[in-house]
Structure 1
């Protein structure tokens, strides 16, 4: 039984070492995805955004949607050729899965009233860069995610491996 527990400890330590750091942002903070919010200011308040971060859009059903578009469609508030479109339920979570610029609009006519968002996703500058300096949304419903730098993850894995080897010698 002791060896099984030791193996479990090593596996859990390995999983922690592979955990990626990300942040969850509630678009528009407590106001959500609605007309009348300045999403340019919101974006500036929460940048930088990185691969693995999540945008969560909270909106009123049947009166709003989230449409991902290209830059030209964003500038024209044109949802006729969307990259993606989501309008079910009351919320939509979108993972930022590559660097570059993302564009989102509402196709219910509110885009012309400023209900549009442009996000620049940047690469992490260094694997040991402190993510705690990154601003987090004050309206996030979930606790901050587990974030380990690669150095801390390596240290945790090595410590778990050393403990496992020591316990195996004793057993």
Structure 2
């Protein structure tokens, strides 16, 4: 009797799973009287008239060693396509003292996580962050990984001089 009950339970469980999977994959066409799919906000075209924003990286702290830029990016988000990031930092002193900074664009998360600059692209050298700063426009909807590559990546590894952003498209609602 126990074997029959176990077989019945197993058969019922398999049938229930197959039925649930079948319903989940079925393309229901509800028609015009119930669900109007054109009113879904995710189907609207991008808003071309939306203005872009300009963000100073780090806010009033600017781009320097020891500030948590991942936290800044998380609190400042969301970023959108065509927004501009402004990296402001002090240029190196004429006598060679001070701490120069730069801006690198890292190719992927692994390089970002390990502060590996072997395949990174330097987008701003130590002199470009002075005065008005270096501007970088987020042109695509992709993840951008930024870091300071000075002193063989020490600023990235121990100084928290790295962050990632994923700009979104502007949508009309």
Give the CA deviation at 1:85.
Answer: 2.6
The structure with the greater share of residues assigned to strand is 1
Specify the structure having the higher radius of gyration (Cα). Answer: 2
**TM-score, normalised with respect to structure 2:** 0.59
Q: Distance in 1 between matches of 2:122 and 2:50?
A: 25
Which one of the candidate residues 130, 134, 142 is aligned to 1:92?
Answer: 134
Structure 2, unmatched stretches of 5+, are 1-47, 93-99
Which one of the candidate residues 39, 42, 54 is aligned to 1:24?
Answer: 54
- Aligned residue number for residue 15 of structure 2: none
Give the CA deviation at 1:19.
Answer: 5.4
Aligned pairs for 1:14-53 (under 5 A) are 20-53=50-83
Which one of the candidate residues 101, 105, 115 is aligned to 1:64?
Answer: 101
- How many residues align? The count is 110
Q: Distance in 1 between matches of 2:112 and 2:74?
A: 18
The structure with the greater share of residues assigned to helix is 1
Show structure 1 runs of 4+ deviating over 4 A: none
**TM-score, normalised with respect to structure 1:** 0.59
Give the CA deviation at 1:44.
Answer: 1.4
- Aligned residue number for residue 78 of structure 1: 116
- Compare 33-42 and 83-92 and name the one that shifted more: 83-92
1:75 aligned counterpart, secondary structure: helix
Structure 1, unmatched stretches of 5+, are 1-17, 129-171
C-alpha contact 2:104 2:146 (8 A) present in aligned 1: yes
